Amino acid sequence: MTPTEPEGGRLGRDRALAFSDGVFAIAMTLLVLNLRVPHVSGHNLDQQLRHELSKEGGVLIGFAISFYVIARYWLVHHRMSLRLRLVDGRFLIINLVLLAFIVFLPFPAEILGIYGSEATAVVLYAGTMVVIGLLSLALWEYARRAHLMGAMSDLELRENRRRSAIPVVVFATSIPLAFVSTNGAKLWWLLLVLSPVLRGAVERRRPHQRATPAASTSRGRPDAGPSPARGPRR
């Protein structure tokens, strides 16, 4: 069997997708293992507990960002699965490499939580995210070019590319920023959450902007409407 021949038809597709969903679920579950319950004793338990929880702030941030990004890529993977008809050997290889980095992500997430003020920790985490994004995009493109999926409109194709490209751009641009300011690089990652909000605001504004010039033009044309009737001159 060549790498481009179908793998067991629908059964092969279903097994590949079920395996992928399981790996995504395991990776998201592993993230919580980085969170440790503090153990305090003696007097001023409340103060000690707040102090210990404050030390876990970096780990909590790493968990939140990682869970959000993995969930986002699972949604991209899920949208592809709804259109996927067949899988072949090359598709499975790309998918397995993608899943390997998904499972690997809890490690740089923990490094980020512990050593978040160091550039190496931020670069390792951001670099892992860039690789995951590129592999997700490559999986989509291969499935489309190999005719493993149903037909897609140009609008759907652009939208799926955008969803995969935004995390790649955000994390890639944060890497050089990390050598200047690690906190600045981590704040830059907030664009992942803000980008859908900003995009929605721009799209809501566009129809209004298109309608306003049209309305003003129609008011300004000399032939915009019938002229009022004039009586005969005397």
The total number of structural domains that make up the chain: 1
Residue 171 lies in a domain: yes
How far apart are alpha carbons 57 and 136 in whole angstroms? Answer: 29
CA dist 77 and 140 (Å) reads 8
pLDDT digit string (tens) for the chain, length 234 residues: 455 555 556 778 888 899 999 999 998 888 887 777 766 676 777 777 777 677 667 777 778 888 888 898 898 888 888 888 889 889 999 999 999 999 999 899 888 888 888 999 999 999 999 999 999 999 988 988 888 887 777 777 777 777 778 889 999 999 999 999 998 998 898 888 777 666 666 666 665 555 555 544 445 554 544 545 455 544
| Cα–Cα distance for residue pair 135/123, rounded to 1 Å | 18
* 174 within some domain: yes
pLDDT at res. 198: 62
Q: Is residue 142 part of a domain?
A: yes
Positive/negative CA dihedral, 120, 126, 128, 134? negative
Token pair for residue 131? Answer: 């690789």
Say how far apart CA 73 and CA 65 lie, in whole Å: 12
Cα→Cα distances 134→95, 127, 141, Å: 12, 11, 10
Residues 111, 116, 118: CA angle, nearest 5 degrees = 100
- Provide the domain limits for residue 160: 9-36+57-205
State the Cα–Cα distance between residues 219 and 11, nearest whole angstrom. Answer: 63
Tell whether 93 is covered by a domain: yes
Nearest CA-CA partner of 106 in 162, 74, 65, 77: 65
Asked, for residue 80, whether it belongs to a domain, the answer is yes
Q: Is the pTM of this model over 0.75?
A: no
Q: Helix, strand or coil for residue 88?
A: strand
Residue 230 lies in a domain: no
Residues 6+ away with beta carbon under 8 Å from 105: 27, 31, 66, 70, 128, 129, 132
What's the pLDDT score for residue 201?
60
User: Residue 94 has what pLDDT?
Assistant: 94
Is 104 a member of any domain?
yes
Q: How many residues does the chain have?
A: 234
Residue 140: what pLDDT?
A: 86
Query: Cα–Cα distance between 41 and 45 in angstroms, integer?
Result: 6
4 belongs to a structural domain: no
| Alpha carbon distance 91, 73 (integer Å) | 17
| Token pair recorded at residue 1 | 């069997």
How many Cα atoms sit within 13 Å of 232 on the Cβ side? 1
